[in-house]
Amino acid sequence: MSRLPVIVGFGGVNPAGRSSSHHAYRRLVIDSLSSSDAGRTYAALAAMMQLRDEDMDEPLKQHILDHTLVRKIESNLFDPDDILVHKSARLNASAEPITFTVKKNQLPDQIPEDWSISEAEGTVQVTVPDGLDVLFRDSRQSEVNSAGQLPSGFKPDSLYQSRSHPRGLQLTVYGASDAINSLGIPWDEIRARVPADQMAVYASSAMGQLDDNGTGNMLRASLMGKRVSSRNCALGLAEMTADFINAYILGSVGSTGANVGACATFLYNLRQGIADIRSGKFRVVMVGASEAPITPEVIDGYKTMGALATDEELNKLDGITSGTDHRRACRPFSNNCGFTLAEASQFVILFDDELALETGANVHGSVADVFINADGFKKSIPGPGIGNYVTMGKAAGIIRSILGEDALKHRSYIQAHGTGTPQNRVTESHIFSEIARAFGIEDWPVAAIKSYLGHSLATASGDQIATTLGAWAHGIIPGIQTVSQIADDVHQSHLNFLLEHHEIDPAKMDAALINSKGFGGNNATAVILSPTVTRDMLTQKHGASALKEHASRNEAVQASCADYDEAAINGGNGTIYNFGVGVVEGDELTLSDRAISIPGQTLDINLSVENPYQDMT
């Protein structure tokens, strides 16, 4: 019997704000919303930005707009105008040897042979006869000054006992908590229905935690005259995103993993999650990613590759010499010069279809499939290849198989990778155009939300999915509003690039293709089915009476979701962080050859494992 992975909850945070209740999505189309919907999203952002106590007048609304989405890099993480560097130099002795004094405990452990040292009161005097290699403390200005930053004033480390956690893990705690709260169903109720070994968490970052509280400090501490912290190495690992959820949020002993596929990382995790649901061995899966790459070193790395939009290149595009338009730094499928880094954390919660109905869970949509293919032989490892033709072709094929030709041709659209680089605009548009031609599709709608949010690397596909769910809730696909025209070298045949917000009937837009093209040949495309299609499929399998009962149960779930949203808007802190809570040691387990009973878990773990090779044994 087939099992459908139903999206029953989602949450997180990105430059547009909190994801649950579609607030981050609504920030993208806030100019097209009703006054009540827009007002609630302004209020939600004000609460995040520590502005809740101020009157919601027009100047405050403008402040909120100006301090969300892609914008000029602010100074909360680092000062882009004063980045610490060291410049190497050689001091040469003139007529006299070089002499200087220093505290004894500041001497190097390995003293050069040509140094003469004499002790003075509280210090030592060092004489160097010939010359001295030194590093001068210096600073530089960043050539890249645009980024997709979280809303100004939002401080995830203040919401729980963060204990010098790397920023990416701070975002994980917030984002995963938001997703769990968005369920509207107490997690203990889920644990009472589902054994611990039938739950799973798949989440990661693409680059690990590279700031001063993670790998960043471990790599450069000795060069900065500092010490490595005992936390730096462990907390810098990419799989810590999932580890933190298991250890401090859910207390999960189920399956876990951290799939990494560059910019397609979220979809790699999603594929493992839906495979678990469809196998029948798992009933609940949390999937996600977190990334906090806005550091001077990461920016410098991508800039040196020629991948990021610098101020100078943006000014050239606009024909100006100053006053860079940082808001429009990311310009997918138009005349552009590079992508824009962003920070974000996104999570979705999947139930199998039976559990979704049993619990009255929200039905935000479902995942038809995720396709992943490599590029084959390549010249440049970060360059694009042929794998994305395969993933997009399979994605179109699965829509045709499930929903039919008409749905594929007239009731689907693409959430493009759309990074804003000259190479991406040509290669990705060619893929879309060729797949549309092959399947007989005309005017296939194409959206590209990195124009608002920037590129959050591992989390980027999560941003695309959250936006897609919002479009079904509100009937508006965000347009690519940072551009006024499509570049001449972009392939437009059979495509409709949405430069303005595009209104849809949610009941008549059946599927969305979430596309991702990652460095190294990590290509992935997911197909998300609409809430309407998902309910139709549930009705086909379970019957109309089961859906009627689900609707009745769902009333309480929706009320709980509304309560969480209202509390968050009013400044409530829903962050979940269970440090040292409910820790179970091995000698507390009850073991037999049939089951393991864990204190605090309602249901035992069954050890009677079915033979998967009955035809061979």
Looking at residue 593, the DSSP 8-state letter turns out to be S
The alpha-helical segments, DSSP class H, found in 331-373 are: 353-359
Q: How far apart are CA 340 and CA 308, in angstroms?
A: 6
Q: How far apart are CA 336 and CA 518, in angstroms?
A: 19
Burial of 185 (0-12, 13-18, 19+ CB in 10 A): buried
Q: What burial letters (b/e) apply to 100-112, b meaning 16+ CB within 10 Å? A: eeeeeeeeeeeee
Secondary structure, 3-state, 354-365: HHHHHHCCCCCE
Q: Please choose, from the candidates 270, 282, 174, 175, the residue with its C-alpha nearest in 3D space to the C-alpha of residue 465.
A: 270
Q: Please choose, from the candidates 254, 253, 243, the residue with its C-alpha nearest in 3D space to the C-alpha of residue 281.
A: 254
The catalytically annotated residue of 23, 63, 364, 455 is 455
Which residues are CB-contacts of 262 (< 8 A; sequence separation ≥ 6)?
206, 457, 458, 518, 519, 520, 522
> Chain-centre distance of CA 255, in angstroms?
21
Q: What burial letters (b/e) apply to 576-597, b meaning 16+ CB within 10 Å? A: bbeeeeeeeeeeeeeeeeeebe
Instruction: Give yes or no: 542 in active site.
Output: no
N-term to C-term CA, the chain: 24
Q: Which residue has the tokens 């996600």?
A: 288
Which residues are CB-contacts of 535 (< 8 A; sequence separation ≥ 6)?
363, 547
Secondary structure, 3-state, 279-323: HCCCCEEEEEEEECCCCHHHHHHHHHCCCECCHHHHHHHHCCCCC
The catalytically annotated residue of 417, 494, 502, 550 is 417
Which residues are CB-contacts of 287 (< 8 A; sequence separation ≥ 6)?
202, 203, 266, 269, 270, 272, 273, 347, 348, 349, 350
SS3 of residue 135 by DSSP: strand
Instruction: Give yes or no: 263 in active site.
Output: yes
Q: Which residue has the tokens 């730096």?
A: 232
Which residues are CB-contacts of 426 (< 8 A; sequence separation ≥ 6)?
489, 490, 491
Q: How far apart are CA 181 and CA 74, in angstroms?
A: 30
Concatenate the DSSP letters of all residues of 222-234 into one string: GGGT----TTHHH
The catalytically annotated residue of 263, 330, 337, 561 is 263
* Vertex 610: Cα angle to 604 and 614 (nearest 5): 175
Question: Measured on CA atoms in the order 86, 90, 96, 97, is the torsion positive or negative?
Answer: positive
Looking at residue 443, the DSSP 8-state letter turns out to be S
Q: How far apart are CA 412 and CA 443, in angstroms?
A: 11
* Vertex 350: Cα angle to 349 and 353 (nearest 5): 145
Instruction: Give yes or no: 491 in active site.
Output: no
Which residues are CB-contacts of 248 (< 8 A; sequence separation ≥ 6)?
173, 577, 578, 579
Which residues are identified as catalytic?
Answer: 263, 417, 455
